[in-house]
Amino acid sequence: MTLSGNIAFFKKMIFAPLIWLGAILMLAIKFIRKVHTVTTGSSDKPLMLLLHGFPELWGMWEHQLSHFKKGYNVAAIDMRGYGESSRPGDPRDYYIDRLVQDVVDVVHELGYKTCVLVGHDWGGKVAWTTAIMHPETIERLVVISAPHPTAYKDPDCFTFKQNLKSSYFQLFYAKGLAERVLLNSDVGLVDDSLKNPPKGPCTPGAISDSEIIRTKAALAQKPGEGTEPCPISAATAALNYYRGWVDNETWKPIPEIDEACAKMLEIPTLVLHGKEDGYFRSEMFNNLDKHVRHLVLPPALEDCSHWCPQDQPEAVDKHIGEFLATKFPAYQAPQIV
């Protein structure tokens, strides 16, 4: 072997392991993530897991955390990209299957195999999909202000008027522009959504000023700010939920998830929505019985906006409590491995 050959050989011997080690470390960094979780109640009780939506944080569930802690170990999380949870930079990390996996992992990390899953808005979308894809993990499902995933393709649900209400989706797909709109005027979109009519709560002050301030501060975090190094802003992370609803390369629904959502859901499910919801017309909750076998769908909550858990907390808690006490003799839970 020549001198140059020896040098090349030794370079491979020295650097190859370093390259592999670097690759392993990068994979570890990619998959390590933190899901900020707040719990109340006792760990020897069944688990109730609460998922917030856009643009809120775990604190939106303060009424439910207090009300259900006697009978449940109640856990509320900051969803991926929000608050004190990890904020990955790849838009594909916000695909619905990744968000679903976070839910399943939290259940297991808290020492449980199953939970009562409660989701609002985007948390409701994730809750629907979790129950559909992992029915063995969900004992009961409660969805608030979030239509079934198939509603967006059902002309009985997604009417022309609903299309107009949902037109902001197109803005949220526009990278850069959407972030500027969201953060404009001291994150004014949060005030428009959580405080001011016509889209805010029907009950003045239902969402406290302190919670709105926390929500604004969390959304205003820039790249590198937060509880850990974050490659993107919090605004981009929140908007990536909308951008990840479809495959970012084909701009079509993700086939595996689309097919799964078309199947009949067997898990007993309660669906709540407000009569004065500024984002979803009541038609978006049509035809649910075609997709959920054991469905409880009360009339739309009176004097209630999109923000049901805060706007009408007593009514929400009452409906959930009665639903959890209801027996469904025809329902057979999946086998837990």
**Would you please indicate which residues are annotated as catalytic (active-site) residues?**
121, 242, 306
Task: For residue 270, give the nearest of 334, 336, 316 by alpha carbon.
Answer: 316
Neighbours of 258 (CB within 10 A): 14
> What is the spatial distance between Cα 236 and Cα 219, in angstroms, rounded to a whole number?
9
Decide: 270 and 319 in contact? Cβ < 8 Å. Answer: yes
Which 3-state string (H, E, C) describes 109-171?
HCCCCCEEEEEECHHHHHHHHHHHHCHHHEEEEEEECCCCHHHHHCCCCCCHHHHHHCCHHHH
Tokens of 208: 């406290």
* Residues listed for the chain: 337
Greatest distance between any 2 Cα atoms in the chain: 86
Tokens of 7: 């040098």
Task: For residue 126, give the nearest of 111, 107, 104, 159 by alpha carbon.
Answer: 104
**Which H or E run includes 325?**
helix 313-325
Neighbours of 327 (CB within 10 A): 7
> What is the spatial distance between Cα 291 and Cα 297, in angstroms, rounded to a whole number?
13
- DSSP-assigned letters across all residues of 56-125: --GGGGHHHHHHSTTTSEEEEEPPTTSTTS---S-GGGGSHHHHHHHHHHHHHHTT-S-EEEEEETHHHH
> What is the spatial distance between Cα 226 and Cα 87, in angstroms, rounded to a whole number?
9
